[in-house]
C-alpha cells in the first residue's frame, strides 16, 4: 500500500506538471501573438501558399520544421532559465516565386514576465512586444537587403498599407521599459 511520502511525491509531480503546462501556454501565446500581429501588419494574416500548407508568416523550429515546444533544439537553458528558440518566417511572393525571409528569435519567462530578443543580436532582452515587432521588422529588412536579388525586389508584395504600417513600427519611439540582462 502506498505511503504518505508516495502521495507527497505524486502531489509534487502534479504541481510541477501544472507549472510546466502554464509555462508552455504562456510561451506559445507570446510567440503566436508576435506572429499574428506581424502577419496582420503585413496584411497577409489570412493568406496561405503551397495549397494551404503554410501561412505567409509562420513559426518554425531552428531546424525549419513546424514549430512545437517539444521539437528538438527548441528549448535551451540560458543562465538556468528555459529559453525557446523560434524562427519567424515571412514568405514574400513575387512573379518569380516565393522567397522566405527568416528572423530567429528567443522567448523566455523570466521574473514572471515574457521577454524577447533577436537570437543573433544576443544579450538584450525586452518585455515590450511592440518593440520586439520593430526589431523583427528591422531584422527582416536587413535580411532582404542581403538577398542576391534584393536590388530588384519591389515593395508591392505587401498589402496596400503594410509598407506604411511597418515603417511606423520602425519609426515609433521606443519605450523606456527596455532592460538588459
- Can you tell me the distance from the alpha carbon of 99 to that of 93, in angstroms, rounded to the nearest whole number? 6
Record the pTM. Answer: 0.76
pLDDT, residue 53, reads 86
Residue 84 lies in a domain: yes
pLDDT of the chain along its 181 residues, tens only?
Answer: 989 999 999 999 999 999 999 999 999 999 999 999 999 999 998 888 888 888 999 999 999 999 999 899 999 999 899 999 999 999 988 888 888 899 999 999 998 999 999 998 776 899 999 999 999 999 999 888 887 754 444 443 444 344 444 555 455 544 434 444 4
Query: What is the radius of gyration, based on Cα positions, of the chain?
Result: 19
- With CA atoms as reference, report the closest residue to 26 among 102, 119, 129, 120: 129
Residue 109 lies in a domain: yes
Beta strands in 37-96, from DSSP E residues, in sequence order: 48-49, 54-55, 57-60, 75-78, 81-94
pLDDT, residue 177, reads 40
Q: Are 107 and 83 in contact (CB under 8 A)?
A: yes
- Can you tell me the distance from the alpha carbon of 98 to that of 101, in angstroms, rounded to the nearest whole number? 10
Domain count for the chain, please give it.
Answer: 1
pLDDT, residue 64, reads 92
- Give the burial class of 110: count Cβ atoms within 10 A of its Cβ; 0-12 exposed, 13-18 middle, 19 or more buried: middle
Residue 165 lies in a domain: yes
| Domain coverage including residue 119 | 4-171
Sign, CA dihedral 126-129-120-176, equals negative
pLDDT, residue 160, reads 37
pLDDT, residue 144, reads 84
- With CA atoms as reference, report the closest residue to 147 among 78, 74, 181, 97: 97
pLDDT, residue 167, reads 52
Residue 180 lies in a domain: no
Residue 20 lies in a domain: yes
CA–CA distances in Å: residue 79 to residues 57, 157, 181: 30, 41, 10
Amino acid at each position: 500500500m502506498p505511503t504518505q511520502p508516495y502521495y507527497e511525491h505524486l502531489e509534487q509531480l502534479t504541481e510541477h506538471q501544472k507549472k510546466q503546462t502554464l509555462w508552455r501556454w504562456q510561451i506559445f501565446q507570446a510567440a503566436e501573438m508576435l506572429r499574428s500581429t506581424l502577419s496582420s501588419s503585413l496584411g497577409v494574416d489570412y493568406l496561405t501558399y503551397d495549397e494551404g500548407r503554410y501561412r505567409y508568416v509562420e513559426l518554425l523550429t531552428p531546424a525549419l520544421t513546424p514549430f512545437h515546444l517539444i521539437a528538438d533544439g527548441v528549448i535551451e537553458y540560458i543562465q538556468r532559465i528555459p529559453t525557446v528558440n523560434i524562427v519567424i518566417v515571412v514568405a514574400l511572393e513575387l512573379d518569380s516565386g516565393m522567397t522566405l525571409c527568416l528572423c530567429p528569435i528567443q522567448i523566455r519567462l523570466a521574473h514572471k514576465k515574457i521577454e524577447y530578443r533577436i537570437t543573433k543580436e544576443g544579450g538584450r532582452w525586452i518585455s515590450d512586444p511592440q518593440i520586439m515587432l520593430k526589431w523583427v521588422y528591422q531584422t527582416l529588412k536587413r535580411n532582404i537587403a542581403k538577398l542576391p536579388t534584393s536590388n530588384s525586389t519591389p515593395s508591392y508584395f505587401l498589402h496596400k498599407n503594410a509598407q506604411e504600417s511597418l515603417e511606423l513600427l520602425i519609426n515609433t519611439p521606443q519605450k523606456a521599459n527596455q532592460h538588459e540582462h
